[in-house]
Structures are given as structure tokens and as C-alpha cells.
Structure 1
């Protein structure tokens, strides 16, 4: 059996450039982000999506609600799709993080680094691998999953074998769709960072 997984990054919000929102509460989409969510919904409406899974954070849930509505399917919270736990960095401004050596290590050696009191990219990949296995075993054929940039990058790493040290060599844009296909025990990357229009 083949399972198609459309990984959608949440739409843009007004704090995207200013701080590391991480798991901070109260980060919601503005008009531009809602428009991106609607565009993703229109793009996926004809794909036979059976269910929409979402990280439980507000910005992902807002995006997922639009997609589930466009596809006419149920919406389910999924903890495995949650943003990376940035620990002590959650909610910090990028400006305040720049001088910290551990922040520079995180951005240059993400395959090895751990945010203070947070989780590693390998731990993120482990939870995603478990979720993907459960999704395939459930018999689902087409699933949409709304998550966060680094989490989707971790999933791309699972499919391609790419080290997370290379995380900055490709982009996962707000509102974009990355497509994975699981078949015959293999996970393949079919499309990366597709940005729907209109």
C-alpha cells in the first residue's frame, strides 16, 4: 500500500522574523498567513486527503482548520508534529540569541547540538518516524499534516538520509507543501517546498 503525506508549514505570522517563537503560546496568523492557509487548502482539495493532522500550536491549528475545511475532512491534533522544544530559547528574540556560543553551534552543527533544556533534531526525527509508521499502519492513503519548518526539514532528512547539518541548504517556506510517499517500506521525497498560489 502507498501512503502520501503532504507536510504543510503553517502560514506566516507577524513575529516570524523577530523572535524564536518555538512553543510559545499566543502566536497567531495574520491576514497573509490565513491567505496562505487558504491557498494550501485549495491546492490539496482535489488530492483525496482523508484526514488533516496538526501540531497543537495556534498557528498550525489555524492553518490546518482552513485545509481541513477545504478538503471536507476531520482535523486531529498530533503531538509528534509539535515544534522543536527549544527549551530556554523559546520566545527569545534572535538579537538576544546571536551572542550566545550555543546558538551559533545550533545553527552550524544541528545534527549534534541541543538547545539548553530542549530537544535535538535526532529526537525530532525519532518522533516523526514513529508518527509516520503509525500513519502507514492505520491504512491511510492520503494525509495532510501541518507542522513547522524545522520539523518538516527533519522529515525530509528521514526520507533522503540528508544530515541535519545541511538543514540550511533548502527552504521550507510559510504555507508551503512538501510531499512524502511511503511505499514498500521506503519513504521517498516527491516534492519539496511547493508554494501554492491564488
Structure 2
């Protein structure tokens, strides 16, 4: 049985260009983000029997709610697709983080570095893949929209692409973009990455 997965990055939210939101700053969508979420919802409105899984962060839940409002899909919150646990880095401005040697190491050596909480990209990939396999078992054949965060989407896509995680900067995952994947017993097929709609 094959599932179609739609990996949606949450829409633009307040403060996202100023600071690392992480799990600490539960910022809402800004005005542009609301428009982006509605545009993404419109692009997905033709999907039948859509099941919508959302990170518990407010920005993801609001994006998921916009998709549900237009598609009639059911929204379920899941900790397994939450943002990376950045620990005390969360809530710091990017200017503050620029002076942090650990932050610089994280961005230069993603494959081996860990956040202050101890989470590594390999951990993010593992929790995401475990959850996707669980959903495949629980909801065979369903179309599942997974509304989460840029690094979570990037991590799992790079795993499927057999790409080195230190090359993460080569893979753009924009706000309100979606990437489509078919996942079956035969393996994975990536059908689109960072697809965007005008808002």
C-alpha cells in the first residue's frame, strides 16, 4: 500500500527573520503568513480524504487549520514532527547567536553537531521516519499532509536523497512550501520539493 505524503512547512510567522523561534517562542502567523497558509490550502483543496498532522507549535497548527478549513481534513497534533529542540538557543536573536561558537559549529557540521539540548540531525531523521512508518501502518493508502518545520523536512528529504546533511544549505524549504513524496513497501519516490504558491 502506498501513501502520498505532503510535507508542508508552516507559513511565515512573527519574528522568524529576527530570532531562532525553536520550541520556546510560540509565534503566530503574521499577515503574510495567513495569506500564504490560505494559498497553500487552496493548492491542496483537491486532495481527497486528506489527513493533516501538525507539529504542536502554534505556527504549524495555524497553517494546518487553514488547510483543514478548505479541504475538510482532520487535524491531529504530533510531538514526533515538532521543531528541533534547540534548548537555550531558542528565543535568541540571530545576532546573538552569531557570537556563539556552538551555534557556528552546528551550522558548519550538522552531521556531527548537537544542539544544547543534545538533539542531532540523525535524531530528527529517526523520529520522523519512525512516525511516518507508524502512520503508514495506521492509515494505509491515505494522503497525509505533515505540517512541520524547515529543518525537519530538510532532514528527512536529505535522508531519502542519500545526500550529506552538511550540504543542508543546498536544499531550500521556504515558508508555506510543500514537498510531495510517495512512500510504499517498495521504497520512496520524491515527486516535488519546495513547491510554492503565490500569496
Structure 2 residue aligned with 1:17: 17
Give ranges in structure 2 of 5+ residues lacking alignment: none
Give ranges in structure 1 of 5+ residues lacking alignment: none
- Post-superposition Cα deviations, 1:24-45, rounded to whole Å, max 9, x if no partner, equal 1431101110111111111111
CA distance in 1: counterparts of 2:49 and 2:158, whole angstroms: 24
Contact 1:6 1:144 in 2 (8 A): yes
The number of residues matched between the two structures is 198
Contact 2:51 2:142 in 1 (8 A): no
Secondary structure of the residue that 1:126 maps to in structure 2? Answer: helix
Secondary structure of the residue that 1:191 maps to in structure 2? Answer: strand
- Post-superposition Cα deviations, 1:146-198, rounded to whole Å, max 9, x if no partner, equal 00000000110222111211110111000000111102341222100000125
TM-score scaled by length of structure 2: 0.95
Structure 2 residue aligned with 1:44: 44
Residue 104 in 1 paired to residue 137 in 2? no
Residue 71 in 1 paired to residue 48 in 2? no
CA distance in 1: counterparts of 2:6 and 2:179, whole angstroms: 6
- Post-superposition Cα deviations, 1:104-126, rounded to whole Å, max 9, x if no partner, equal 11111101100112411110001
TM-score scaled by length of structure 1: 0.96
Q: CA RMSD in A?
A: 1.2
CA distance in 2: counterparts of 1:141 and 1:55, whole angstroms: 19
CA distance in 1: counterparts of 2:23 and 2:70, whole angstroms: 27
Structure 1 segments, 4+ long, off by >6 Å, are none
Structure 2 residue aligned with 1:165: 166
Contact 2:97 2:103 in 1 (8 A): yes
* Displacement after TM superposition at 1:49 (Å): 4.4
